[in-house]
Amino acid sequence: MSVPTAIDAAALADLIERTRTFIREEVLPVEDASGGDIVAAGGDKLRVELQDKAKAAGIFAPHAPIEYGGLGLPITQHAPLFEEAGYSLFGPVALNIAAPDEGNTHMLDKLATPQQRAHYLAPLATGHVRSAFAMTEPSPGAGADPRALRTAAVREGDTWRITGDKHFITGADGADFFIIMARTSGEPGDPGGATMFLAPADSPGITVGRHIETLDRAMIGGHCEVRFEDLIVGEDAVLGGVDAGFAGAQVRLGPARMTHVMRWLGAARRAHDIALNYVNNRSAFGSSLAELGMVHQLVADNEIDIAATRALLMTACAELELGGHAGTSTSIAKTFGSEAIGRIVDRSAQMCGGLGVSYDLPLARLMREVRPFRIYDGPSEVHRFSIAKRALSASRRAAAESGAGNAALVATPEPEMVR
């Protein structure tokens, strides 16, 4: 496992500025020319071209280990860089910090064996390949509640046979390998018994099916149906330990939720900047729109949501960086951030009137892209459930320790929480 190394404030400021310049000069024009559709813009061919330019600019993979060409920075210093990259929908692809590869890079760095690091982490971190994380399943399988996991891995001597259906697997089309969550013990609904397996995408038994058409168009490789049918893998395919899959996935999920917030906050800032420029230059009712009180409220509310999202994000990142689980702080930042980002883009479109919902401005496609974030990486409702359960549980523990409170309430067992 690599150890992140912070850089000083001046070096970070320089890196932020170089990232900002690169995104505006090299990436935004490509996004605008293709309407934010990564397939229309060139898909993997474009990805390689942009990543080569990012490497030349010295801004490639801020999160990845230095040994693989990344910058090896801690998560608190990822935030401003990921935000600047997210100012363009294609920026995360250019810097190799897009989902799911960014989260998979982090998890492999933490959990992979030396052999797995060489075979999977090295080519992923350097941008030579893409990956996919296969957990979500069709109903009644795993989704917002991962305990419903039904894909099964059965041990056969020194191998495992994996069978099951997945869907909404981001990046599956064109991925070089899959990280597969499968049940190795227990029954669907049990809180444990999951294991993560690594498998090359061209392994017999893996079929990538149709792209599930969604609102967003900027995530390379689509959101696909994937079938695992009698996929045979060896013991060396186990990532993080047998029956330790849910615990291992937590290594990925908390930080990945925060990097989502970073990237989409950049997109929201772009929407806000577009609206500011518009109202400063558009006149109506005898004055500039920027002089109207109703516009002032929209602008101010955007500024508040941007600042609050960034503050909650940095609080969670600081907790993660210190080694904490950060379950509550990441859920709070993800829930507030995903909803605030949607509000920012929506208000920006409102300020721009008809142009705001047309494709003459980028706002319509930004609205299209950010709306799914309230669902991706855990719906807001599930995060609220988790936040509330932790708060109630903490209150019960405090009451029990002090001998106060309702005895029946203290004795009530807490259901397993979704994290």
End of a domain among 92, 125, 158?
125
Say whether pLDDT at 38 is over 90.
yes
Residue 167, SS3 per DSSP: strand
What letter represents residue 133's amino acid? F
Question: Is 395 part of a structural domain of the chain?
Answer: no
Return the closest-CA partner of residue 377 out of 388, 386, 368: 386
Q: Answer yes or no: do 48 and 105 share one domain.
A: yes
Find the Cα–Cα–Cα–Cα dihedral 397, 398, 402, 406, rounded to 10°.
Answer: -70
Quote the domain boundaries for residue 332: 247-378
Model confidence band, residue 336 (pLDDT cutoffs 50, 70, 90):
very high
pLDDT tens-digit readout, 172-183: 999 999 999 999
What mean pLDDT is predicted for residues 179-191?
97
Q: Indicate which CATH number applies to the domain containing 72.
A: 1.10.540.10
Per the structure, how many domains does the chain have? 3
Return the closest-CA partner of residue 346 out of 384, 373, 376: 373
Question: Is 179 part of a structural domain of the chain?
Answer: yes
195, 184 Cβ separation under 8 angstroms: yes
Question: Is 162 part of a structural domain of the chain?
Answer: yes
CA separation for the pair 228, 200 (Å, rounded): 12
End of a domain among 95, 125, 155?
125
Q: Answer yes or no: do 320 and 254 share one domain.
A: yes
End of a domain among 125, 149, 165?
125
What letter represents residue 56's amino acid? A
Q: Indicate which CATH number applies to the domain containing 324.
A: 1.20.140.10
Q: Answer yes or no: do 116 and 165 share one domain.
A: no
Residue 134, SS3 per DSSP: strand
Q: Answer yes or no: do 230 and 325 share one domain.
A: no
125, 64 Cβ separation under 8 angstroms: yes
Say whether pLDDT at 202 is over 60.
yes
Q: Answer yes or no: do 163 and 77 share one domain.
A: no
124, 108 Cβ separation under 8 angstroms: yes
Q: What pTM was computed for the model?
A: 0.93
Q: Answer yes or no: do 253 and 368 share one domain.
A: yes
Question: Is 31 part of a structural domain of the chain?
Answer: yes
Say whether pLDDT at 185 is over 80.
yes
